[in-house]
Structure formats: C-alpha cells, structure tokens
Homo-oligomer: A and B are copies of this chain.
Amino acid sequence: MRIGLDAMGGDFAPNAIVQGAIKAKQELSAEDVIVLFGAKKQIEQIIEEQNVDMQGLEIVDCTEVIDMHDSPIKAFKEKPNSSLSVGFAYLKKGLVDTFASAGNSGAMLVGTMYSVGLMENVLRPCLAALIPKAQEGVTVLLDVGVDTDTKPEVLYQFGLLGSYYAEKALGIVSPRVGLLNIGEEEGKGNLQSKAAYQLMKDGGYNFVGNAEPSEIFKSNVDVVVCDGFVGNLLMKNIESFARTIAKRGLIDDFISRFNYEIYGGLPLLGANGVVIVGHGISNDKAIKSMVLHSKKIYDSKIVESLKSVLQSAN
C-alpha cells in the first residue's frame, strides 16, 4: 500500500517527520511505500544524514506549506502547491491509500471536505481519541474536537462511527457504546444528551446507556460518545492531568500509557478515505506510530464497512 505523509506539518517538521517515516519503514513490508509530501531537497538531505536508502520512500515535491497560523479555507485556495493541498489531491486520485499530517488540524478537516469528502449519509465527521483504561486496553472517546455544537442526531451517529472503529481497528467484538453524561439514569443531563439518549436507545449498535466520566477509566464501556467541545476539553484535561503527574516523578504503567506517541494520530471518522490527524508536538516516535496506525486502519477496511452500513441505513 501507499501511505501518504505530510512532511511539513507539525512543530518539528520536516526533521521529526522524515525520521519517523524512516523508523516506520523498517516495520513495514517490502510492498509498502511511504509517500512524503514536502520540500524535496530538504527531505533528501535528512534522509542522507540518516544514512538510509530511498527503498520504500517516495518524495512528492511541494513548494508551499500551510502552517498553524493559516486560515484553513483561505490556505487551500492560496497555496495549491502546499504539502497538504497536494497530499489530499493524491488521496482523492487514489495515488496514496491514506493521508496523515501533524500540521494544522483545521486544515486537515477542510482538506478532507475539499478532496475525498464525507461518506454518504455522514452528518459530521469526528476525531476519536484512545484513552487508556486503568486495567488494560483503551476507551474510544469521540468526538474530541471537530464538531463543537453537536446535534443529538450527530451524537447518535458518532456512536455508530465509534462502534465500527472499535470493532474494525481495535478488534473489540460488539463494542459497548455509552453516552457521556452527568448521571447514569435515563433522563439525566442537558437537553442535548437527553435527546441523544432516546436516539441511541434504538440505535442498531450495542448502546449501554449513560456513562459518567469515571467509566472512561473503567472496563464497562468501550466507546464513549460526546459533543466535540466537551470531548476536546475532557481529552485535554486528562492529558494535562497525566502530564502533571508524570512531571512530579510518579512512575506508573497507567500514567505511562497516556503517551500520545503510542498511537501518534487520530483517524477522522466519517471521511470518505483514511485521514489521520497527528499531534502538533509529534516527535519521530509519534510519527512512526502514526504511519503504522494509518496502515492498520487501511487494512481494517473500516471505510468500506462503514460506507456499506451507512448506505443501507438510509
């Protein structure tokens, strides 16, 4: 397969990106190719310095960069030769099978909409984060930041997207889907969660009711659905708490599993293709994980499965 990677996105680009790609390449099979989008000369120089050959790597020269300060919609119009613009064009044409970037996440969303678009019948795309459980495994938390004013019917659909992600990419059989809420009982919550509960109850997936925040760390639920504003706050809160604890020198397996480097990037669920959004602070380890996660999601055929389910749902 051909794994697309934006070499210019993220705080430590292109160095960390290229080094991460080199690390990932060593774990991929001979027929896999990582396609790097970015400044060719710069990328070649980093590869040279690392003393590796180009086997399994390709470079598509891009003369522009969309950075963190660019307004996403404007940037795609004004920078057609940017690594993001060209990368998404390749994804649309099928010249790469997946596309990942640790750059401007708003631009990743816009790029998706302008290129592969959303699957038929998807109301809103979303980002799914993987939060470690205290015992073992992870909880899929979604949305964590795309849709900041989520409608009840969208929450319902996030449950479906999260359920498929947990099953296809994480191998969880009949994933238990909970709705993030301030109480366990039906009827608890704000207007949004009360309405979403009613839709999820007859949802066609394994809905297990409301999940209080403590459930995220426990083993009673696999997928926790929430509004993107709430999910982003919660994810950031969990991350900063874990970071604060780690900084205090407390060494623990649970805390060490909060390392974003383990997965490297979050899939944009609902996109009509495999799009992976990385952390801006990604180092080479995180980029390596993001590349391998891209392949895993592609191989899981989650996009194909979801497409057929969503089509038949209508």
Q: Which residues of A line the B interface, CB within 8 A? A: 134, 145, 148-149, 180, 182, 189-193, 212-214, 216-217, 227, 229-230, 232-234, 236-245, 247-248, 250, 252, 254-255
Contact B213 A240 (CB under 8 A): yes
* Most chain B CB atoms below 10 A, which of A148, A193, A252: A148
Contact B212 A236 (CB under 8 A): yes
Contact A244 B254 (CB under 8 A): yes
Contact A234 B236 (CB under 8 A): no
Task: Point out the residues of chain B lying under 8 angstroms from A148, CB to CB.
Answer: 182, 189-191
Bound together, the chains give a CA A239 to CA B182 distance in angstroms of: 13
Task: Point out the residues of chain B lying under 8 angstroms from A227, CB to CB.
Answer: 190
The one of B234, B247, B250 in contact with A234, judged by C-beta atoms closer than 8 angstroms, is B234
Bound together, the chains give a CA A236 to CA B145 distance in angstroms of: 20
Nearest CB in chain B to that of A255: its residue: B245
Q: Count copies of this chain in the complex.
A: 2
Contact B233 A182 (CB under 8 A): yes
Contact A190 B252 (CB under 8 A): no
Task: Point out the residues of chain B lying under 8 angstroms from A233, CB to CB.
Answer: 180, 182, 213, 230, 234
Chain B: minimal CB distance from A239 (Å): 8
* Given A217-B244, A252-B245; A229-B190 close (CB under 8 Å): yes
Q: Given contacts A182-B229, A217-B241, A233-B234, could you give 13 more A-B pairs where the C-beta distance is less than 8 Å?
A: A149-B192, A193-B229, A213-B236, A214-B237, A216-B237, A216-B240, A217-B240, A229-B230, A230-B233, A245-B254, A245-B255, A248-B254, A250-B252
